[in-house]
């Protein structure tokens, strides 16, 4: 009999793997390379499912190798030839351990232990943004209507503030008087739009987060649309576009669609830097760069550029986005919730 051989530990994602080798009268089963190529790693983990993968084990005599998967000491399948197995019916946020045993059917075997933790359940928060809709009242550019648990906004996207992008004959035309010494007016002009947002009144965290698109991703409280942190058409950084932002840090596209990528200073000057500034398409609110008198930085926020805390408008707390002074400014790697529809 050969002595048991201890293989080195390998850790991938949430898995701690211990390898060991055993055999009886037929000791010809071997791993396909050295050291310890027979190993198990985790694939996707959800609340109730998990997938594991393992590398091939070979037999020196050319015998067919089969695999038995054990979870918590109980065999869940045996003599399978595939190199993967998916578990279902798991309990959320629970640690599981098990082994995959490779055998040649003649007494030779080798095993790899695995462990994983199923994903935690996403808590259901009963958010309701109905109370915030009054912030849009009295704005010429935007109207809204409620039907069931959705709200629909229609905006002309015409800013209620000055800009060098108005036609020079317009009453709100004003030459650039901002602080950017590198300012360079782009060749576009402000023009009337017809943009419709339909979003939920009860936003909730999405199980699968979707990326924000180029173009409108939300609506500000004065009816101007929010864009994400990229310049079109190929998701470039805003480095060059920033130099074309007017004194209120907005600008129009080639289609005359005026928008904000970064802090809309007309709104923060008008309502305060802690104020509600608008909604993204998933229904979650956007707030300014201050919270409780402290400047919010990217380090205070999650990957989607938001967090959950109490606000003046939501004293019991709500998930919300914040404007910051560095990329991604308004939104990070996608919508935190499920985006509604946007048509134009």
pLDDT at 25 > cutoff 90? no
The mean per-residue pLDDT over the stretch 108-115 comes to 86
Task: Read off the pTM.
Answer: 0.67
Under the banding of pLDDT at 50, 70 and 90, the label for residue 110 is: confident
The mean per-residue pLDDT over the stretch 308-316 comes to 94
The mean per-residue pLDDT over the stretch 324-334 comes to 93
Q: Give residue limits of the domains in the chain.
A: 5-117, 122-344
pLDDT at 165 > cutoff 70? yes
- Alpha carbon distance 57, 336 (integer Å): 42
Taking only the tens place, the pLDDT of each residue in 33-89 is: 333 346 777 777 788 888 898 888 777 777 788 889 999 989 888 778 788 899 999
Q: What is the pLDDT of residue 62?
A: 76
DSSP 82: S
Q: What is the pLDDT of residue 19?
A: 32
Under the banding of pLDDT at 50, 70 and 90, the label for residue 122 is: low
> What's the CATH fold of domain 5-117?
Immunoglobulin-like (2.60.40)
pLDDT at 23 > cutoff 90? no
The mean per-residue pLDDT over the stretch 281-299 comes to 96
Mean pLDDT, the chain, whole residue set = 86
Q: What is the pLDDT of residue 123?
A: 66
| pLDDT over 90, % of the chain | 64
- Alpha carbon distance 299, 256 (integer Å): 35
pLDDT at 28 > cutoff 60? no
Q: Which two tokens stand for residue 100?
A: 């995959």
Beta strands in 195-291 (DSSP E): 195-200, 218-220, 225-226, 250-252, 258-260, 276-280, 285-287, 290-291
Q: What is the pLDDT of residue 66?
A: 86
Q: What is the pLDDT of residue 3?
A: 36
Q: What is the pLDDT of residue 102?
A: 86
Residues 6 or more apart whose Cβ sits within 8 Å of residue 98: 69, 70, 71, 72, 73, 76, 113, 114, 115
pLDDT at 15 > cutoff 70? no
């Amino acid at each position: 009999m050969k002595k048991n051989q201890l293989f080195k530990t390998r850790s991938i994602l949430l898995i701690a793997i211990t390898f060991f080798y055993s055999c009886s009268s037929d000791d010809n089963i071997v791993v396909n390379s050295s050291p310890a190529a027979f190993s198990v790693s985790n694939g996707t983990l959800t609340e109730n499912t998990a997938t594991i993968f393992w590398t091939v084990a070979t037999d020196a005599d050319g015998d067919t190798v089969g695999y038995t998967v054990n979870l918590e000491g109980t065999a869940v399948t045996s003599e399978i030839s595939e190199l993967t197995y998916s578990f279902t019916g798991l309990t959320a946020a629970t640690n599981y351990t098990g082994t995959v045993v490779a055998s040649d059917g003649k007494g030779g075997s080798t095993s790899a232990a695995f462990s994983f933790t199923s994903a935690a359940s996403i808590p259901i928060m009963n958010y309701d943004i109905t109370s915030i809709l009054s912030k849009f009242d009295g704005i010429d550019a935007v109207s809204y209507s409620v039907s069931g648990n959705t709200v629909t906004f229609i905006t002309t996207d015409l800013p209620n503030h000055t800009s060098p992008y108005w036609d020079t004959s317009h009453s709100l035309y004003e030459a650039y008087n901002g602080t950017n010494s590198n300012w360079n007016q782009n060749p576009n002009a402000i023009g009337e739009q017809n943009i419709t947002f339909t979003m939920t009144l009860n936003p909730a965290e999405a199980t699968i987060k979707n990326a924000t698109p180029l173009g409108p991703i939300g609506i500000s409280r004065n009816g101007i649309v929010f864009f994400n942190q990229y310049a079109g058409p190929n998701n470039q950084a805003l480095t060059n576009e920033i130099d074309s932002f007017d004194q209120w840090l907005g600008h129009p596209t080639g289609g005359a669609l005026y928008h904000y990528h970064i802090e809309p200073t007309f709104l923060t000057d008008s309502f305060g830097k802690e104020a509600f500034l608008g909604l993204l398409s998933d229904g979650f609110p956007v707030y300014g760069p201050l919270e409780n008198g402290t400047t919010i930085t990217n380090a205070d926020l999650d990957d989607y550029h938001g967090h959950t805390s109490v606000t003046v408008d939501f004293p019991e707390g709500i998930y919300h986005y914040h404007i910051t002074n560095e990329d991604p400014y308004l939104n990070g790697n996608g919508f935190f919730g499920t985006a509604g529809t946007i048509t134009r």
